[in-house]
Amino acid sequence: MGVSDNAKGLILAVASSAFIGSSFILKKKGLSRAGIAGTRAGAGGFTYLLEPLWWAGMITMIVGEIANCMAYVYAPAVLVTPLGALSIIISAILAHFMLNERLQRMGVVGCVSCIVGSVVIVLHAPQERTPSSVEEVWNLATQPAFLMYVVVTVAAVLTLVLHFEPRSGQTNMLVYLGICSLMGSITVVSIKAIGIAIKLTIDGINQITYPQTWFFLMVAGICVITQLIYLNKALDTFNATLISPVYYVMFTTLTIVASAIMYKDWAGQDAASIASEICGFITVLSGTIILHSTRDQEPHPSSRGTVTWYVRSDSLKNLDEEHLLNILENGPQ
């Protein structure tokens, strides 16, 4: 008995999460080293391109993304995308040991919630229905509902880049992650189209000669480059244990919406299965929120006779970027 397409997609998605979760940590350490030697990525520098550890993280991420792309060919986005929660667990654990970003007890609860939610989604995921040609994919991409989604997405990205990034990009991680997530949703549907074209070509139905295939490739390339630029800025500016879950929630939600609109992933499923998938997805989101809320908040001791106030932005990367105000008590002797 052969392995089903959904099973192949599941195996590839799990492998992808392992590579991508590790890449966050490698790239984070590479960015930290590069920031010491030159201009930080968050400040517009590109010194990290000379850092071997960053490239190790990049290669690991590329391998993970390739596995992820292949997973989308064999399984629907509603199955593959939520399994990205496994990368959060891996990055949180590695950050605990390698970056000294503490994973507290409730963080373990968050990890368990992500796993439970992922299992529920896997058990109720719809079977993949592969289009017979890239032209069929093009027809799905040019339907009015998806075109409206693309217009709204591009408008939102331009607004974030031109208006919000100069004003609050260094203090609000949702600016960088919003750009990455919005572009990421377009990346996924484009890469899925490319993967389908490659799969059909390997099966003897040549899709390389169709201009639609190259159009999807161009769109995916633009989106991936944009994602990398702004993800590097986010990693260099904010805490890795904070970035991973928030990015996952935003990216996963937008990707499932985009794929459901374009590929109609839930067509033909009964209400019970759809409800189970939604519940599993909410469970995964709850786990990521728990991980977010249990980020490192270790108190810093203050000396006797001193009142120490920390006025801090929750999204700042480290103590050097906090504002510390010491008010010495001058009471009676």
Rounded Cα distance, 286 and 114, in Å: 8
Answer for the pair 149, 157: CB distance below 8 angstroms, yes or no: no
314 close to 173: Cβ distance less than 8 angstroms: no
The secondary structure element, H or E, covering residue 306 is strand 306-311
pTM: 0.68
d(CA 13, CA 30): 25
Residue 295's pLDDT is what?
55
Name the residue among 206, 229, 191 with its Cα closest to residue 70.
Answer: 191
Q: Tens-of-pLDDT digits for all 333 residues of the chain?
A: 567 778 888 899 889 988 988 888 888 888 777 777 666 666 666 777 778 888 888 899 889 988 888 888 888 877 888 887 788 788 878 887 877 777 777 778 888 888 888 888 878 877 767 778 889 999 989 999 999 999 999 999 999 999 998 888 888 888 999 999 999 999 989 988 998 888 888 888 888 889 999 999 999 999 999 998 998 888 888 876 677 677 877 888 888 888 888 888 777 778 888 888 888 888 888 887 777 666 544 444 343 343 434 444 444 444 444 443 344 444 444
| 128-149 residues labelled b (16+ CB within 10 A) or e (exposed) | beebeebeebbebbeeeebeeb
